[in-house]
């Protein structure tokens, strides 16, 4: 009994004590007019670029020092939330569209609209549509910092061996019925252990050496890295209105058709079965030559173009579906904590982060595409200068759709992911399963 009570206590301890314990964190302090701002981001690849911005900012504002903390994505939001709960959050942090609504609703974010008006920030300088994402009920919760789009990443060497000319990949088509030329290429790129490709009648789908396509199934509520792209090309839209819709449409047959197509791809042996998929990320499998084609985001450009990479990769435009070629566009912003003791200084830093001064510096390093159009062009040029063809991503920016921005984002991420995985595993029918899911998701908004 004693040990039970102890265990029970320990259990509750882990839950209940997190809050007071987190209060031991450090906060920014100001002494003698000098201010230290805490700034958080998650991408280690971007850290050097923003450190450069912070240094430049400090040079221009000697009384303000920016202390950057980088935490990996998996811990970032938990850490942030516990810090917020304990009243010790960073003054400024990098925000993301799925996560920010809950912070906005809970009054954790500073409305920067008055500052924007006062300092006459030119919002038209940003890539179209990016700055509106951060507005809710007339309040503005951040300035855009960058954007990303999706494209196909293909192993040109592997495809070349199967007689696919990379130029053929510039204009792929797709439909949920037969998969279009996209599926043809995937079939050709799939090779079994006897060296036969997916179109060969003797192809052995149980002994596949290289998969033509690597789908992503841990993809939350929006399918940004996979199903969401093709569903949009099939005419699916997530919501009644975006941002801030309250009715999801996961029961749309167009989504069910899309998922069913993916499932057929798996059944034919062109993509790994979900119950036999690898524990490592698709990008790793591509690099290891275990897959030929996948969707990838513009933030992974350096992963595939690194000098150490043995295979040859190219980025190609997404396949065009019945409703055209559509890429999700996702932007990040820099937000100010409502509880910051230095709102004026924090705004100065956010304004600098959102200015071409900082974004040009980020552009030079060609890690991401900055939100300011001119800086973005510079990033593109920096990529070209290093011999990287990233037109698939910049081209994708011409026809985009927004990832859903609503309440309950994190909760429905898990629900949707589970339901879609059940369908892909064959545990649930696409139509039924997604209808059931949709009812549950929409019940969150009642």
Partner 1 sequence: MVASKTATPRHRDDREVFLGAGAPAARPRRRDDRKVAWLFLAPVLVGFALFYAYPTVLGVYYSLTDYGLLAPPNLVGAENYRDLVNDDKFWNALKVTGYYVVLNIVSQTVLALALATVMHRLTQSVAVRAMLLVPWLVPNVTVGLLWMWMLDANIGFVNHVLRAVGLGTTGFLTSPTWAMPTIAGINTWAYTGYTALLLYAGMLQIPRYLYESASLDGAGEWRMFTRITLPLLRPVLALVLVVSLIGSFQIFDTVAVTIRNTPGGVTRVIYYYIYEQAFTNFRMGYASAIAVVLALLLGLLTVVQMRLLRASRSDLA
Contacting residues toward partner 1, per CB under 8 A? 1, 3-13, 15-17, 19, 78, 81-82, 84-85, 102-103, 106, 108, 206, 217-218, 272-280, 285, 288, 290, 410-411, 414, 418, 421-422, 424-425, 427
Residue 301 contacts by C-beta under 8 Å, 6 or more apart in sequence? Answer: 315, 366, 383, 388, 390, 393
Q: Is 386 exposed, middle or buried (CB count within 10 Å of its CB: 0-12, 13-18, 19+)?
A: exposed
Round to whole Å and give the CA distance between 138 and 118: 16
By C-beta, is 271 or 379 nearer to partner 1?
271
Write the DSSP string, 54-77.
HHHHHHH-TTEEEEEEE--HHHHH
CB of 190 to partner 1, least distance (A): 14
CB of 14 to partner 1, least distance (A): 8
CB of 284 to partner 1, least distance (A): 8
By C-beta, is 29 or 204 nearer to partner 1?
204
Residue 10 has a CB neighbour count (10 Å cut-off) of 11
By C-beta, is 24 or 59 nearer to partner 1?
24
CB of 40 to partner 1, least distance (A): 16
By C-beta, is 10 or 60 nearer to partner 1?
10
By C-beta, is 75 or 247 nearer to partner 1?
75
CB of 219 to partner 1, least distance (A): 11
Strand 64-70 and strand 34-41: the pairing is parallel
CB of 184 to partner 1, least distance (A): 24
Distances (CA, A) of 188 to 31, 57, 182: 66, 52, 10
Query: Residue 154, SS3?
Result: strand
Q: Phi/psi at 39 (nearest 5 deg)?
A: -130, 130
CB of 378 to partner 1, least distance (A): 36
Residue listed under structure tokens 């998996």: 74
By C-beta, is 15 or 31 nearer to partner 1?
15
By C-beta, is 56 or 338 nearer to partner 1?
338
CB of 19 to partner 1, least distance (A): 7
CB of 410 to partner 1, least distance (A): 6
Distance of CA 176 to the CA centre of its chain: 24
By C-beta, is 95 or 149 nearer to partner 1?
95
Query: Residue 249, SS3?
Result: coil
Query: Residue 320, SS3?
Result: strand
Q: Phi/psi at 12 (nearest 5 deg)?
A: -70, -30
Identify whether the C-beta of residue 220 lies closer than 8 Å to the C-beta of residue 417.
yes
By C-beta, is 74 or 124 nearer to partner 1?
74
Round to whole Å and give the CA distance between 271 and 227: 14
Residue 32 contacts by C-beta under 8 Å, 6 or more apart in sequence? Answer: none
């Amino acid at each position: 009994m004693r040990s039970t009570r102890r265990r029970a206590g320990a259990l509750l301890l882990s839950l209940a004590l997190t809050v007071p314990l987190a209060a031991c964190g450090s906060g920014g302090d100001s002494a003698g007019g000098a201010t230290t701002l805490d700034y958080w981001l998650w991408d280690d690849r971007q850290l050097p670029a923003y450190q450069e911005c912070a240094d430049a900012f400090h040079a221009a504002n000697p009384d303000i020092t920016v202390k950057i903390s980088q935490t990996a994505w998996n811990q970032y939001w938990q850490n942030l939330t516990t810090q917020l709960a304990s009243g010790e959050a960073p003054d400024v942090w990098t925000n993301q569209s799925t996560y920010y609504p809950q912070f906005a609703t809970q009054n954790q974010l500073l409305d920067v609209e008055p500052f924007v008006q006062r300092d006459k920030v030119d919002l038209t300088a940003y890539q179209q549509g990016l700055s509106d994402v951060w507005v809710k009920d007339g309040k503005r919760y951040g300035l855009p910092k960058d954007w990303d789009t999706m494209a196909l990443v293909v192993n040109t060497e592997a495809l070349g061996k199967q007689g696919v000319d990379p130029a053929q990949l510039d204009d792929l088509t797709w439909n949920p019925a037969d998969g279009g030329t996209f599926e043809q290429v995937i079939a050709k790129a799939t090779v079994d252990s006897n060296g036969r490709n997916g179109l060969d009648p003797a192809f052995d789908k149980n002994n596949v050496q290289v998969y033509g396509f690597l789908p992503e199934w841990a993809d939350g509520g929006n399918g940004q890295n996979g199903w969401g792209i093709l569903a949009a090309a099939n005419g699916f839209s997530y919501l009644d209105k975006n941002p801030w819709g309250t009715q999801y449409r996961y029961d749309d047959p167009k989504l069910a058709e899309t998922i069913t197509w993916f499932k057929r791809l798996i059944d034919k042996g062109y993509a790994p079965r979900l119950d036999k998929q690898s524990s490592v990320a698709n990008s790793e499998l591509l690099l290891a030559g275990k897959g030929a084609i996948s969707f990838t985001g513009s933030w992974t450009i350096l992963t595939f173009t690194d000098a150490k990479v043995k295979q040859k990769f190219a980025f190609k435009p997404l396949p065009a579906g019945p409703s055209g070629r559509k890429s999700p566009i996702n932007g990040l912003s820099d937000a100010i904590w409502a509880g910051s003791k230095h709102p004026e200084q924090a705004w100065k830093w956010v304004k600098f982060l959102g200015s071409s001064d900082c974004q040009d510096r980020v552009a030079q390093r060609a890690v991401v595409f900055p939100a300011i159009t001119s800086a973005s062009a510079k990033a593109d040029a920096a990529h070209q200068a290093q011999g990287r063809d990233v037109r698939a991503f910049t081209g994708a920016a011409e026809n985009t759709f927004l990832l859903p921005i609503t309440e309950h984002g994190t909760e429905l991420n898990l629900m949707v992911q589970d339901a879609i995985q059940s369908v892909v595993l064959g545990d649930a029918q696409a139509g039924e399963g997604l209808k059931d899911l949709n009812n549950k998701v929409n019940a969150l908004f009642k």
